[in-house]
Amino acid sequence: MKAKVTIREVAKAAGVAIGTASRALNRTGRVSEQAIAAVTKAARDLGYTPDAVAQSMRTRSTGVVGLLVSDLANPLYARIITAVESRLLTAGYALLVASTHNDGQREKTLIDLFRRRRVDGLILGPCQAETPAYLDQLAADGPVIALDRDFQGDNAGVHVDHYHGALQATRYLLNLGHTRIALLTPASVLRPGRERILGYRDAYAQRGLQPDPKLIRAEKSAMDFAFSEALSLLGSPTAPTAFLCLGTRILSGVLQALRHSGRLAPDDVSVVSIGDTDLSQLFSPAITSLTWDLEAVGTAVAELLLRRLDSPAPLEQERILLTTQMVLRESCGPVAKAPAAARKKTRAAS
């Protein structure tokens, strides 16, 4: 353990008082050019590094922000986090991260952990435990930014317009003649799922239709869940003719189910997914996708937080809504004339 060099030693080496050294280093208050030069030189010579812990102790600001998402390994979050980290770094902030795994209890534990560490701000992604009671208490400690999540009270945050995204995608399928469109999305208790269901329903409603409730599968997002859900859907006598795969790992489960049941897109069933992944682009057929700019989400979150950090007085309640785009590819087509089973036979016989 090399002895850390403190500001005290720098001051002594520079031949000034400790207070002057501090001011020189931080360019704060009135300091002579001469003092600045001497202190700077001494600091460099000694290899002085300010101790952030001591600074935090004094200034009551740690320069650390905490970020909580349900799963760090989710590629969508991973990209958002990268953007957040990048933007925050330019402002000198470090990023503490953790996964809640959609567990409200765990989320609380993690928030407490972060609070004890005295993070300057908090970014909270969707978690089953919507609007926990301790949230107001939290806001007293520093800015809390919602990431695609709804809070009661002051819910500043960045949100994706899943409502219009789902509306547009559903409408698109409806236009192709589909009326039995399956909607697979993560937990309806989370904002993304809730909004998507609303958009989906409204698209139907605008046609004077009402979707079969059985077609809405909005619980977990695990891939094998999507697989078994899709399989059971496909096995039904009134199987869907289209799949809206609105969750990160849902597409692969549905594709497996299609393969497993001998269905082909877009002839037998149409497929729409989210996120412009390798799989969407390279699968045959390429998958029509609902996308949004993940980097923009991350940057917006970071900038909103930074702004609140500068002016802790919560100005207006700021909500940023980002739109989705639909990338048309090859996985959707008009609803099949003959039922899938019939077509399969035809194909096999030829």
> Would you tell me which residues interact with DNA (CB under 7 A)?
4, 6-8, 15-20, 22-23, 25-26, 28-32, 34-35, 48, 50-51, 54-55, 57-59
Decide if 155 contacts 124 (C-beta within 8 A).
no
| CA pair distance 105, 129, nearest whole angstrom | 8
| CA pair distance 119, 184, nearest whole angstrom | 36
**How many residues appear in the chain?**
350
Query: x/- contact string, 106-125, with its own copies (CB under 8 A)?
Result: ----x-xxxxxxx-------
Query: x/- contact string, 64-103, with its own copies (CB under 8 A)?
Result: x------xxxxx--xx-xx--xx--x--x-xxxxxx----
Residue in the structure block whose two tokens are 């997914």: 273
Decide if 49 contacts 2 (C-beta within 8 A).
no
Q: Please, which residue, 25 or 255, has the CB nearer to DNA? A: 25
> Which region, judged by CB under 8 A, interacts with its own copies, from 8-16, 21-29, 54-62, 154-162?
54-62
| CA pair distance 159, 222, nearest whole angstrom | 23
> Residue 126: which of 90, 156, 96, 151 has the closest Cα?
151
271 binds its own copies (CB under 8 A): no
39 binds, among its own copies, DNA, none (CB under 5 to 8 A by kind): none
282 binds its own copies (CB under 8 A): yes
> Residue 81: which of 279, 92, 70 has the closest Cα?
70
Q: Please, which residue, 115 or 164, has the CB nearer to its own copies? A: 115
| CA pair distance 136, 316, nearest whole angstrom | 17
| CA pair distance 156, 67, nearest whole angstrom | 15
Least distance between DNA and beta carbon 119 (Å): 15
Near its own copies by CB under 8 A: residue from 54, 321, 338, 341:
54
| CA pair distance 186, 194, nearest whole angstrom | 9
> Which region, judged by CB under 8 A, interacts with its own copies, from 105-113, 181-189, 193-201, 315-323?
105-113
Decide if 64 contacts 53 (C-beta within 8 A).
no
26 binds, among DNA, its own copies, none (CB under 5 to 8 A by kind): DNA
**Chain residues in the site for its own copies (CB under 8 A):** 1-2, 49-54, 56-57, 62-64, 71-75, 78-79, 81-82, 85-86, 89, 92, 94-99, 110, 112-118, 137, 140-141, 249, 251-252, 255-256, 259, 277-279, 281-284
